[in-house]
Amino acid sequence: MDNLPNQPCPRCGRAELNIYYSSNADEKLGAWCEYCDLRAYFNGHELVSMKEYS
């Protein structure tokens, strides 16, 4: 798994979103923003936010 750092976050707008993808297929798997802690996964080309449950 590889990542593409410093992408614009759809929630906070800062360039602190890391997009994780499969290195063999270049398929986007998920994303995490270091600033607002957005955690999401990709459903096709759509970024879907995950909710944390405690």
Task: With respect to residue 54, please indicate whether it lies within any of the assigned structural domains.
Answer: no
β-strands 17-21, 28-33: how paired? antiparallel
How high is the pLDDT of residue 52? 55
Query: Which residue stretches of 1-54 are H helix?
Result: none
pTM of the model: 0.83
Domain region containing 10: 2-49
C-alpha 35/C-alpha 18 separation (Å) is: 11
The mean pLDDT of the chain is: 90
pLDDT digits (tens, 9 = 90+) for 16-38: 999 999 888 778 999 999 999 99
Task: With respect to residue 23, please indicate whether it lies within any of the assigned structural domains.
Answer: yes
Total of domains in the chain: 1
Give the amino acid at 2.
Answer: D
How high is the pLDDT of residue 1? 82
